[in-house]
Amino acid sequence: MTRFVVDTSALIAVLTGDPARERFIARTQGGELLAPGSVHWETGNALSALLKRRRLKLAEVQSALAAYARIPIRLVEVELGDALELADRFGLYAYDAYLMACARQQGAPLLTLDPRLGRAAHEAGVRVIEV
């Protein structure tokens, strides 16, 4: 089974019906999704930002949360020191560094829609699959 570390940007695309949704689903079909535990809170933060900007209504966010609960993501521990070294080296926020550290530690490619994170991950030796 192919394993993937999934970025919040890809999850939000799936949850909100973004055009990348079908590509993401096709790419991960039959695979195992992994993520650091922070992805749960980052997903909530992204959805609250969509509410704040009035891009989604509360009912749509609740529907997205129900869909999120059905996505089988295995949350894994990330070595905090490794993540902070990556954050320092690439000028990243901790959330992005957690994803990169997770991908390195798990030996799995990173699925992302974030070009900046993708470039940093590639530079760090992480295989990147842009959805």
**Strands, sheet with 3-6, edge to edge from the N-terminal-most edge strand:** 73-76, 32-36, 3-6, 110-112, 128-130
What range defines the domain where residue 74 resides?
3-130
- The residue with tokens 């969509």 is 50
- Beta bridge partners, 36, equal 76
At 95-110, the pLDDT tens digits run: 999 999 999 999 999 9
What would the mean pLDDT of 50-66 be, rounded to a whole number? 96
Tokens representing 72 are 């089988």
Q: In this structure, what are the phi and psi dihedrals at residue 2, rounded to the nearest 5 degrees?
A: -75, 135
What would the mean pLDDT of 38-57 be, rounded to a whole number? 96
- The residue with tokens 């894994």 is 76
Kindly give the residue spans of alpha helices, DSSP state H, lying in 53-79.
Answer: 58-69
Split into its structural domains, the chain has a count of: 1
Assign 90 a pLDDT band (cuts: 50, 70, 90). Answer: very high
For the domain that residue 45 is a member of, what is the CATH number? 3.40.50.1010
